[in-house]
Amino acid sequence: MIETKNVTKTFDSFTALDNVSLSIPKGTAYGLIGSNGAGKSTLLRLLSGVYKAESGQVHIDGENVYDNAKVKARVFFINDETVQYNSYTLKELKNYYKLFYDNFSEDIFNKLHATLKLPMTKKISSFSKGMKRQAAVICGIACKTDYLLLDEAFDGLDPTMRIIVKKMLVDAMIDNDLTVLLSSHNLKEINEFCDRAGLIHQGKFVFDRELDNIKGNIHKIQTAFDKPITKEDFADIDILHIDITGSIVYIIARGDAGELRSKIDKHNPKIYDILPLTLEEIFVYEMEVLGYDYSGVTGE
Amino acid sequence: MFSINIQGGKPIYEQLYTRISELILSGSMAPDEKLPPIREVAKDMGINPNTVQKTYQLLEQNGLIYSVPAKGSYVCKLTEESDALASLRKKSITQFKESAINAINHGVSAKTLHEEIDSIKEKQQ
């Protein structure tokens, strides 16, 4: 389990993370969402022991991460930047990781490598961005750590590669009970692959939810009445957003779909439709309720 | 495998559940037929294996599939008395009622609705 308690990290006068607390259960695929500069990479670097927090605690399975070789051997971090490996060939990189990670599996490496067919003896500096990412991913999975952190997970990978990488992650989750923490701008990817997601905005951790719960519990309703209707008529509903134009009412509300229906049925609607909400819309309204402006959170 | 268009705002395990239960109830998946392993479904759809597992658990709880340790999951034989069938029928009646109310509110006559049902029945026979 990954756990941070009241973690703050500053760079000179800039507060990159402000009092962040989160916990990620073992075996989860966790998606970290936020705009550029929100603090996602800083958080991942703290979790992998690259940075030390000024205050607060960063724990993995109950142990401090920073300067703790034992814990760090169980975490693999795929950095957003791969420049540090440029002077190695993939073969050298593999041998380098083998030194640090006791569980490194030559077998898994070869299997993954057979799918991707990256050159083994060319310098990584000659690789394209996508190839560098692939190299890092196969090394990361072959190290068989308990935790895999991916910064900008699918960045620079073409659609076919995204599929292959996801398949690799599925295998590792089933075979090794791998916990995956990935940051991404891409909500579709997070929606499909993650159990939980957290949203970071300007260094603050805005919220953290199990995706199935938020999705099953928030609804967009379009309804219409043949009598004047006001917001007060729906006082018994947990409304996130309401828009009344004449007799047509749009409601975004939390709650069970059946209960919402019966509460609205009391007013004899002439039309009643539950419309699908995208994950993006859910986040927009959740943030609106918390008093944040969502614009730009997932903007590229 | 289980082709669905993943919708953003609905839990994926629910979408998958609906798809598989349709296949089972329509007879497209026969009793005692083996379901694809969780790993294959997750890989094929590019989704989290935990999600597939949640779907399979729910299918088992509702009596649509059974699991054999170390072998996999299989389709249950559904009888007229089975709870799964009863609850699905109840659900489809609710859905039908909702659509019928909308249709009537939109000015479709009850006669037209009856005719539609008759023509569906004819096509299925």
Domains of chain A: 2-208 (3.40.50.300), 217-289 (3.30.70)
Q: What is the pLDDT of residues B44-88, one digit of tens each?
A: 999 999 999 999 999 999 889 999 998 999 999 887 777 777 877
Contact at CB, B39 and A166, closer than 8 angstroms = no
Q: Cβ of A278 under 8 Å from any chain B Cβ?
A: yes
Are the C-beta atoms of A180 and A218 separated by less than 8 Å?
A: no
Task: Write out chain B residues lying below 8 Å of A273, CB-based.
Answer: 102
Task: Write out chain A residues lying below 8 Å of B1, CB-based.
Answer: none
Q: Cβ of A164 under 8 Å from any chain B Cβ?
A: no
Helix B83-105 vs helix B110-124: crossing angle, to nearest 10:
140
Q: What is the pLDDT of residues A59-118, one digit of tens each?
A: 999 999 998 989 999 999 988 776 677 889 999 999 999 999 999 999 989 988 988 889
Q: Which of the given ranges, A22-26, A214-218, A294-298, has the highest pLDDT on average? A: A22-26
- Please tell me which of the candidates A192, A271, A273 has its beta carbon nearest to residue B6: A192
Are the C-beta atoms of B33 and B75 separated by less than 8 Å?
A: yes
- Please tell me which of the candidates A162, A195, A215 has its beta carbon nearest to residue B9: A215
Question: Regarding the domain delimited by B12-75, which CATH topology (the fold level of the hierarchy) does it fall under?
Answer: Arc Repressor Mutant, subunit A (1.10.10)
B5: nearest CA partner in chain A: A192
Q: Tell me which residues of chain B, numbers 68 to 87, contact chain A at a CB-CB cutoff of 8 Å.
A: none
Are the C-beta atoms of A32 and A180 separated by less than 8 Å?
A: no
- Give the span between the Cα atoms of B42 and A212, in whole angstroms: 16
| Residue of A170, A180, A192, A220 to mutate when probing chain B, most B C-beta within 10 A | A170
First to last CA, chain A: 31
Mean pLDDT over each residue of chain B, to the nearest integer: 88
Q: Give the pTM.
A: 0.82
Q: HSE (CB half, 13 Å, CA atoms) of A246?
A: 3
Domain ranges of chain B: 12-75, 83-124
Helix A129-142 vs helix A106-116: crossing angle, to nearest 10:
150
Q: What is the ipTM of this complex?
A: 0.79
b/e per residue, A29-55, with b = 16+ CB within 10 A?
bbbbbbbeebbbbbbbbbbbbebebee
- Read off the DSSP letter of residue A212: H
